[in-house]
Amino acid sequence: MAEQKDFWKRMDNDFANFDEIVRSQHEEMDRQMMNSMPQLPSWAVPNELKSKWPSPMLKHSEQGKEVLMVKDKPGQKFEVTLDVSHYLPEELKVTVSDNVLSVQARHEAKDEGAMPGMSTSSVRQFSRKWTLPDSCSSDEVKSHLSSDGVLLVTAPLRTGTAVQKDERRAIQ
């Protein structure tokens, strides 16, 4: 009887932290394999699946990779495409001032911990600026935010009218 009791006591001790041990082993394996895993930009994974997707396989905007593409098509338009999927629309600010296109985003999060008096907060932000080509009409700059968090900002070719360079305006 004493042997059986001792056996079950050791089993209880070994399995007391079983979930934590397994979780830490999985994290260690993910960390070791990260360099060999294919990575996707976060905009390529639907928002409803991001929480289920293994995080080492995502390229996060937090790593400074918001800018997906900048195109200057002479005679047509200037275009900037950004991944802003980690920001809410109201956290984005697109402006033009003195022929400079500016895109800024700031997200603040606070999390009340499970224990009383314990909380965490984090801030994620970026700011990018581009000087518009002289052939672009800064007063006609437009932006479009897709449902999957891709922001497209377009500055079309100037159509013969002079553009005021001292004007500062927000882009909708």
Q: What is the pLDDT of residue 142?
A: 92
CB 83 within 8 A of CB 146: no
* Cα–Cα nearest to 172, from 86, 96, 75: 96
Q: What is the pLDDT of residue 93?
A: 94
pLDDT digits (tens, 9 = 90+) for 2-41: 788 888 888 887 777 777 778 778 877 776 666 555 555 6
DSSP state of 158: P
Averaged pLDDT of the chain? 75
CATH 2.60.40.790 for the 63-170 domain, yes or no:
yes
Q: Distance between CA 39 and CA 58 in Å, rounded?
A: 5
Mark the ranges of the chain whose per-residue pLDDT is less than 70.
31-45, 47, 49-66, 72-75, 113-115, 159-172
pTM of the model: 0.54
CB 153 within 8 A of CB 103: yes
Q: For residue 104, how many C-alpha atoms fall within 13 Å in the half-sphere facing its CB?
A: 7
Delimit the domains of the chain by residue range: 2-36, 63-170
